[in-house]
Amino acid sequence: MIAVDTNLLVYCHRSDSDWHEAADRCIANLAEGQAPWAIPWPCIHEFLAIVTNSRIYQPATPLQHALEQVECWLESPSLQLLSETGNYWQVLRKMTEAAKSTGGSIHDARVAALCVHHEAKELWTADRDFLRFPGLRVANPLSK
């Protein structure tokens, strides 16, 4: 199972992104394919926060449009949403300690821990900071 990070969701959604076409193609291939793929819940929250923020985008995505985008992804029958269950705390603790995560990097540790907890094959992201988490395979599909 491939998990998708926030930055790819944002690039896919925002047509003004330099990486829009490549990210849109990657997400479409996952959403329309038969293989399971995943989005961690924190990435959906962060996607909504970023694309609707007028300090980041001028113009920002209207909330209704951003919510509709999420609903489109949720319609993919092969999508799995990654959330905290069972022994998640042990995985998060291991990730934060190994990467010495503090402050804002706790969000990345949370995403990494969800991927490992749910046995995602890899996390697709353009954020190299995820390389510091043990047991998490990271790939940037936009650089291929």
**Domain residue extents for the chain:** 2-143
Distance from C-alpha of 111 to C-alpha of 132, rounded to nearest angstrom? 13
Distance from C-alpha of 14 to C-alpha of 21, rounded to nearest angstrom? 10
Question: Does the pTM of the predicted model rise above 0.85?
Answer: yes
* pLDDT tens sequence across 10-67: 999 999 999 999 999 999 999 999 999 999 999 999 999 999 999 999 999 999 999 9
The confidence band for 144, taking pLDDT boundaries of 50, 70 and 90, is low
Identity of the amino acid at 114: L
Residue 122 has pLDDT above 70, yes or no: yes
Tell me the CATH architecture of domain 2-143. 3-Layer(aba) Sandwich (3.40)
